[in-house]
Amino acid sequence: MPQRGFTLIELLVTLVIVTIVATMAVPAFTGFLARQQLASDVNEMISVLSFARSEAIKQRSDMTVIFSPPDASNSNRRPESCRNNEIEEDLGENSEESIRYRYSGGCYWVVESGVGSQILRVGQSANIASPTQAFSLTFQSLGDADIANCPGSPCEMTLNTTGESASTPSVTLMIRATGSIRRKESES
């Protein structure tokens, strides 16, 4: 009775075909993951801004969203959960204001404005591309936004992917003085 099986040539051809398919699929999968991470970060930013606005309306109290970008020198320390790779810089002026802090990742947090400044939500995002300096937005009790500390009016925040997937288009969020939060339409 003859034995049935695969020859070495058949196995090698199958292995070459699988390798070619895998080589074509990995870059597409990497781009897919980058797009999904960016979409997740955009949704998180919209969620945080909407949360701050709704809490301001609900509690009839100002709520401030503070953004601290990566590698920007700040005089204020971040909340404990955002102090990743903290570098303390002393400007040598022998005062508390002369100490500045630099962090490797981006961070944002929502605080109730006023006496206690209680932190309500905190998070991190490496995908915030602009503005590149620290800024804040304050939502007021009627849902309006004080965007005076944001560079530009309306306030715009651009998120894009980091790393190899630069081909993924960036997403810009606009926050208007009325408190509305929208994705900016692309010009393409």
Which residue ranges make up each domain of the chain? 8-69+106-184
Instruction: Give pLDDT, residue 188.
Output: 47
User: Is CATH 3.55.40.10 the classification given to domain 8-69+106-184?
Assistant: yes
- Residues 147 and 145: their CA atoms lie apart, in Å, by 6
Q: What percent of the chain has pLDDT over 70?
A: 88
The answer to whether residues 129 and 96 touch, using CB atoms and an 8 Å cutoff, is no
pLDDT digits (tens, 9 = 90+) for 40-79: 889 999 999 999 999 999 999 999 998 888 777 776 777 7
| Residue range 15-41: mean pLDDT, rounded | 88
Instruction: Give pLDDT, residue 52.
Output: 94
Please provide the DSSP assignment of the chain as one string: -------HHHHHHHHHHHHHHHHHHHHHHHHHHHHHHHHHHHHHHHHHHHHHHHHHHHHTS-EEEEEE-TT--BSSPPPGGG-TT-EEEE-SSSSGGGEEEE-SS-EEEEEE-SSS--EEEEEE-S-EEE--S-EEEEE-TTS-EE-TTSSSSSEEEEE---TT-TTSPPEEEEE-TT--EEEPPP--
- Given a cut of 60, whether residue 165 has pLDDT beyond it is no
Listed range (9-13, 130-134, 176-180) with the worst mean pLDDT: 130-134
Residue 76 tokens read as 């204020």
How many angstroms separate the first and last alpha carbons of the chain?
68
Burial 14-47 (b: 16+ CB within 10 A, else e): eeeeeeeeeeeeeeeeeeeebeebbeebbebbee
pLDDT digits (tens, 9 = 90+) for 71-101: 777 767 777 777 777 777 776 666 656 677 7
Pairing relationship of beta strands 128-130 and 119-124 according to DSSP bridges: unpaired
Band of residue 168 on the pLDDT scale cut at 50, 70, 90: confident
Instruction: Give pLDDT, residue 164.
Output: 54
State residue 123 phi and psi, 5-degree precision: -160, 170
Band of residue 115 on the pLDDT scale cut at 50, 70, 90: low
- Given a cut of 60, whether residue 104 has pLDDT beyond it is yes
